[in-house]
A and B are shown apart, each in its own frame.
Chain A
Amino acid sequence: MNIEQLLTQAEGLLASWNKETIRPESNRLDVVIAGDDLRAAVTALHEAHWGYLSAVTGLDLGPASAQMEALYHFCSGPAITSLRIRLPHDNASLPSIADILPPASFFEREMQEMLGFKFSGLNISERLFLPDDWPEDVYPMRANFTLDQAAPVAGRHADELPEQGVVGGNTFVIPIGPQHPALKEPGHFEFTVDGEIVTAARMRLGYAHRGIEKAAESRNWIQNLYLFERVCGICSHTHAMAYSLGVEKLAQVEAPPRAQAIRELVAGLERVHSHLLWLGVAAHEAGFDTLFMYSWRDRETVMNLLEQITGNRVNYSANLLGGVKCDIGPEQAKAVKEGLTYLETRIRHYLEVVTTDVMFLNRTRNIGTISFDEAVRFGLLGPTARASGLVRDVRVEAPYGAYGHFPVSAVTETNGDLEARCEVRLKELLVSCFTMRTIVDNLPEGPLTVRMPRKIPAGETISRIEAPRGELFYFIKSNGGETPARIHIRTPSLCNWVSVLEKAVGRQLADVPMLIAGMDPCFSCNDRVVTVTRPGSNENWSWKQLREYGIEYYKR
């Protein structure tokens, strides 16, 4: 089905609740509905298997209108249908859809904490993102939020754990995180174990909140490019690319073909780096440190390539609004091809290791198996979904940038266990390597950048990109000014958490780190919304102080 047919079908499904239909872009359909009709509308789309719930965006339309808007984005291939619900500030309550679509619980909790939406039927009051001592009824993403509202409230703590974590009998609560050797980033999990068997799981995020979404609203379009690159240290390029593509779409500017190809090339290298890093972490969680050391050694090859092309190892800063900064000359092309040849041999070797090493298979085969139906129900994304046979790959479903000219094929496995997740990631790297080689050989000639206006025309756009961990979703709204009105990011890890919490129950404690690692979580991606510099805190540095500190630091 093409986009038109998909959107017509969605319109038909939603006809009985439809109050107004808007077509903001050629691949998008916005249907305005009433809050009470939400569950019925979602059920209709869900039962007709029209796409999946990709993200839920909350918008504060400003103090003037005293209204907020909730946007439920469903994606099916390249087509996006958004359910728009307008609600007044003082009564922003919606029915929860978490029982129909489990990943929605994370989206709803985010909106509940950040914007003050109320979800009837969600029944989770504990915080996922905001600090425990954050005051009640203060919502950082509201338009009228000011820092002095956020003074820490003494005495407001998380639910106290029972003494010693002993729940009764042989049952303990094992805390993993926020500081724990299994986690390289801060997150908090509590696994209730009976002996060695996990009987309950809960999680808490938000330890690395930097308030990037809020910060974006006070920076101009160009500054934000660098800000969003810092959402994640592993997939920095994909964030910058998603942002650039979105802003370019709003400005109706298209980056030249050569720039698009270079973007895809850097994204490919980044995927190699990310997946090799993941393989090492997964091997370490399983207690196979040799694989960890070797895969990280080989990851250096791709890190060096990235450095040679862009000049940086982590935040590559390859993108510009309207193009890219770095070119691929003959020297870089040669280095990339040599590097890829080496990496391909190594990746083939690792593929052999993860599929034949008996001791490693002991820890991966038939563990944490997610069936196809469960993958659909949990709303999984990226390699985690593809390991269960569910094709969720934006590069294939809705090609963006240069992916139309240099296509990749989706790699899927059917077993859905940890072994399949290893296989999918490694095989996908081989596909990536092949595509990158093609790009280097057939790089289109032409300029690297086009001119971008400083002010971006008013409008809303959605930019979806396949990050190494799955679909990355950017919702960008401009009021026609020099700064964006709202940028909402939904990272792939957020959608995949449901699977970990559901699958850990009933497994052995020893499998839990593997299960967490199996979806390749990225905590800093999840954590981005809250301002952490608050009055009354010693670490409240002004921008000027921070800048001076940075200059002083590098003088030494």
Chain B
Amino acid sequence: MNTFTSLFTLLIFPAGLTLMLVGMFYEWIDRKLVARFQNRVGPRWFQPFADTLKLFAKEQIKPAIVNPYLFFGLPIAALAGALTAALYVPLMGLNPASNFPGDLIVTIYLLSLPTMCVGLAGWNTSGRFSLIGATRTLTQLFAYEAPFLLAMLGPALVAGSWQINTINGYAQNHWLIFTQPVGFIVALIGLMGKLELPPFDAPEAETEIVAGALTEYSGRGLAMFKISRSVELIIGLSLVSSFYLGGLNGIPSFLFKSLALLLVMSVLQVLLTRLRIDQTVGLWWRFGAILVLAQLLVMILWKGLAL
């Protein structure tokens, strides 16, 4: 691969610009679906793009007492983390731009980077709403991270590889949603937790803490955090559908499977009431983690006995 193609892959297609645009488009689909379910009209198709453009054009107001390096650096780190994670994922059903054995673990940790950055950003701005929001963001991270990782581990275990591309290939012949239903549910709900979608939106519950950790952010910084979340949405949908929904092998299969997942997610957002942070943690550790662990145990035993 020469430098030009690498740069093209990294910056334009399928990662980089295209990914961001697709992410915003999916964000619009999610918002529109939720709005229609709630009997509202919902935004027009270009709303997320317009919001982003507007935010980029606006001044970023820096609170007086923050550490400026962190304040301006964290949104960049968040976006960079999310975009880097995209390199190892079969985006739009195409082959990953890069892969190596063990890239699954790297991807999952890179996916947590935006959340960590949001947490740090909240701590750094030290507004009262931001601090409470940051605490909640990080608490929630510790709640869903382990079960989500375990849910991703299931397919890796049966495919016998830590490489996303290999698992994707294996999954194209095995619909793991049927053999590992618990893992699928935990992965999907974990994704909602990662994206802080209702009912896991306690970290940004507007009726208590305004906008949570990002309360003090405006302009470019806010836009970058928003984009990294859209990117995360695409990566998460790609991961879950390639692992559990029979793999991704082309743009049509990506569109079909990820949109189906998005529909399920928006229905859940509409139906469920926000959980308090203690209820979120309780849900993950009392049900999510234990169920996935039980499933893993069954799989390991079964594999061991079969060998």
Q: Do A and B come from one complex?
A: yes
Q: A-side interface residues toward B, CB under 8 Å?
A: 164-165, 172-176, 180-182, 193, 195-196, 283-290, 293-294, 297, 357, 359-360, 362-363, 508-513
User: Which of A165, A181, A195, A511 is the most central at the interface, judged by chain B CB atoms within 10 Å of its CB?
Assistant: A181
Could you say which residues of chain A place their CB within 8 Å of the CB of B205? 287, 510
Q: In the bound complex, how far is the Cα of B208 from the Cα of A428, in angstroms?
A: 29
A-chain residues with CB within 8 Å of residue B128 when the two chains form the complex: 164-165, 172-175
Query: Of the candidates B39, B201, B277, which one forms a contact with A297 in the assembled complex, judged by CB atoms under 8 Å apart?
Result: B39
User: How many angstroms from the CA of A510 to the CA of B206 in the assembled complex?
Assistant: 10
Given contacts A164-B128, A172-B132, A509-B132, contact A362 B210 (CB under 8 A): no
Contacts A174-B128, A287-B198, A293-B38; A359 near B276 (Cβ below 8 A): no
Q: Identify the interface centre among B126, B128, B208: most chain A CB within 10 Å of its CB.
A: B208
* Residues from 114 to 128 in B contacting A, C-beta threshold 8 Å: 126, 128
Contact for A174 among B132, B199, B201, B272, CB less than 8 A: B132
Chain B residues with CB below 8 A from A508, complex form: 276, 278
B109 an interface residue at 8 Å Cβ cutoff? no
Q: How far is the CA of A284 from the CA of B38 in the complex (A)?
A: 12
Verify if B263 is at the interface (C-beta below 8 Å from A).
no
Q: Which B residues touch A164, using CB under 8 A?
A: 126, 128
Contact code string B267-290 (vs A, CB < 8 Å = 1, else 0): 000111111111100000000000
Provided the pairs A180-B210, A293-B39, A513-B207 are in contact, do residues A363 and B274 lie with their beta carbons within 8 angstroms? yes
| Residues of chain A within 8 A of B37, CB atoms compared | 290
| Residue among B37, B126, B206 with the highest chain A CB neighbour number at 10 A | B206
With a cutoff of 8 Å between Cβ atoms, the chain A residues found around residue B277 in the complex are 196, 510
Give A63 to B205 CA distance when docked, in angstroms. 53
B275 near A174: Cβ-Cβ < 8 Å: no
CB distance from A360 to the nearest CB of B (A): 5
Closest to A514 in B: B207
Taking CB as reference atom, which chain A residue is nearest B272?
A359
Closest to A176 in B: B208
Interface size on B, residues (CB 8 A): 30
- The A interface, classified by DSSP as helix, strand, loop or mixed, is helix
Given contacts A196-B132, A288-B274, 15 further A-B contacts (CB under 8 A): A164-B126, A174-B209, A181-B206, A181-B210, A182-B206, A196-B277, A286-B274, A287-B202, A287-B273, A289-B38, A290-B38, A290-B271, A359-B273, A362-B275, A510-B276
Q: Which residues of B contact A290 (CB under 8 A)?
A: 37-38, 270-271
B276 x A285 contact (CB < 8 A): no
> Would you give the shortest CB distance from A521 to chain B, in whole angstroms?
14
CB-CB under 8 A from A175, the residues of chain B are 128
Please, what's the 1-or-0 string for B238-273, where 1 marks a CB less than 8 Å from any CB in chain A? Answer: 000000000000000000000000000000001111
Q: Is B71 an interface residue (CB 8 A)?
A: no
Neighbouring B residues of A293 by C-beta, 8 Å: 38-40
The reply to whether A294 and B131 contact each other, CB–CB distance below 8 Å, is: no
Closest A residue by C-beta to B126: A164
**What's the minimum C-beta distance from A273 to chain B, rounded to whole angstroms?**
18
Contacts of B131 in A (CB 8 A): 172
Check B129 for interface membership: any CB of A closer than 8 A.
yes
Give the docked Cα–Cα distance between A165 and B65 (Å). Answer: 14
Q: Is the CB of B132 within 8 A of A193?
A: yes
User: Which residue from chain B places its CB closest to the CB of A175 in the assembled complex?
Assistant: B128
Contact indicator A284/B207 (Cβ below 8 Å): yes
Nearest-CB distance from A128 to chain B (Å)? 23
**Alpha-carbon separation in the docked complex, A24 to B143 (Å):** 67
A509 with B208: in contact, given A172-B132, A174-B129, A293-B38 (CB under 8 Å)? yes
Contact with A along B166-210 (1 / 0, CB 8 A): 000000000000000000000000000000001101100111111
Given A174-B132, A362-B279, A510-B202: A287 in contact with B210 (beta carbons within 8 A): no
Task: Say yes or no: A294 contacts B132, CB within 8 Å.
Answer: no
- List the A side residues contacting B198 at CB < 8 Å: 287, 289
Min distance, Cβ A7 to any Cβ of chain B, angstroms: 46
Distance A289 CA – B208 CA, assembled complex (angstroms) = 15
Q: How far is the CA of A510 from the CA of B140 in the complex (A)?
A: 15
Closest residue on chain B to residue A294 by CB atoms: B39
Contact B278 A196 (CB under 8 A): yes
Chain B residues with Cβ below 8 Å from A165 are 128
A165, B206: Cα distance in complex, Å = 19
A363 adjacent to B38 (CB under 8 Å): no
Closest chain B CB from A318 CB (angstroms): 30
Q: Can you give 19 A-B contacts (C-beta < 8 A)?
A: A164-B128, A176-B208, A181-B210, A182-B207, A196-B132, A285-B207, A287-B207, A288-B272, A288-B274, A290-B38, A290-B270, A290-B271, A359-B273, A362-B276, A363-B276, A509-B132, A509-B209, A510-B202, A513-B208
Q: With a CB–CB cut-off of 8 A, which chain A residues contact B276?
A: 362-363, 508, 510-511
In the bound assembly, the distance between CA atoms of A528 and B147 in angstroms comes to 54
Measured in the bound complex, the distance between the Cα atoms of B276 and A345 in whole Å is 31
Tell me, rounded to whole Å, the shortest Cβ–Cβ distance linking B289 to chain A: 20
- Closest approach, in angstroms, between the C-beta of A366 and any C-beta of chain B? 13
Which of B38, B206, B273 is in CB contact (< 8 Å) with A362?
Answer: B273
- The residues of A that contact B207 with a CB separation of less than 8 Å are 181-182, 284-285, 287, 513
Q: Is the CB of A363 within 8 A of B273?
A: yes
Q: How far is the CA of A512 from the CA of B208 in the complex (A)?
A: 8
With a CB–CB cut-off of 8 A, which chain A residues contact B275?
359, 362
Residues of chain B from 97 to 142 with CB closer than 8 A to chain A in the complex: 126, 128-129, 131-132, 135
CA distance A285 to B208 in the complex (A): 8
Q: Write out the residue numbers on chain B whose beta carbons fall within 8 Å of the beta carbon of A283.
A: 273
Measured between alpha carbons, how far is A293 from B279 in the docked complex, in Å?
Answer: 24
Least CB distance, B193 to chain A, in whole angstroms? 14
Chain A residues, CB < 8 A from B270:
290
Docked pose: A508 CA to B207 CA in angstroms: 13
How many Å lie between the Cα of A165 and that of B274 in the bound state? 27
Closest to A293 in B: B38
Distance between B297 CB and nearest chain A CB, rounded to angstroms: 28
Chain A residue with the shortest CB-CB distance to B205: A287
CA distance A150 to B271 in the complex (A): 53
CB-CB under 8 A for A294 and B38, given A180-B210, A289-B198: yes
**Knowing A164-B126, A290-B37, A293-B40 touch, does A359 contact B199 (C-beta < 8 A)?**
yes
CA distance A357 to B272 in the complex (A): 9
Complex interface: chain A residues within 8 A of B132 (CB): 172, 174, 193, 196, 509
Q: Given the complex of chains A and B, what is the CA–CA distance between A429 and B129 in angstroms?
A: 37
Determine the distance from Cα of A286 to Cα of B208 in the docked complex, in whole angstroms.
10
Closest to A283 in B: B273
Contact B38 A287 (CB under 8 A): no
CA separation between A174 and B205, bound complex, in Å?
Answer: 14
- In the bound complex, residues from chain B placing their C-beta under 8 Å from that of A176 are 208
How close is A418's CB to chain B, nearest CB, in angstroms? 12
| B39-65 interface with A by 8 A CB criterion | 39-40
Q: Would B273 and A360 count as touching, CB distance under 8 A?
A: yes
- CB-defined contacts of A357 to chain B, threshold 8 Å: 273
Q: Which 7 A-B pairs have the closest CB atoms?
A: A287-B274, A182-B207, A288-B273, A359-B273, A293-B38, A181-B206, A513-B207
* Cα of A363 to Cα of B201 in the assembled complex, Å: 14
CB-CB nearest in chain B for A513: B207
Min Cβ gap B201→A in Å is 7
CA distance A180 to B37 in the complex (A): 27
Binary contact readout B1-39 vs A (1 if CB under 8 angstroms, 0 otherwise): 000000000000000000000000000000000000111
What is the chain A residue whose CB lies nearest that of B129? Answer: A174
The distance in angstroms between the C-alpha atoms of A540 and B209, with both chains bound, is 35
For the complex, what is the distance from the CA of A357 to the CA of B273, rounded to whole Å? 9
| Closest partner residue, chain B, to A173 (CB atom) | B128
For B210, the closest partner residue in chain A by CB is A181
Report which residue of B135, B198, B199, B272 has the largest number of chain A beta carbons within 10 angstroms of its beta carbon. B272
Residue on A nearest B131 in the bound complex, by CB: A172
Q: Which residues of B contact A288 (CB under 8 A)?
A: 272-274
Complex: how many Å from CA A180 to CA B275?
21
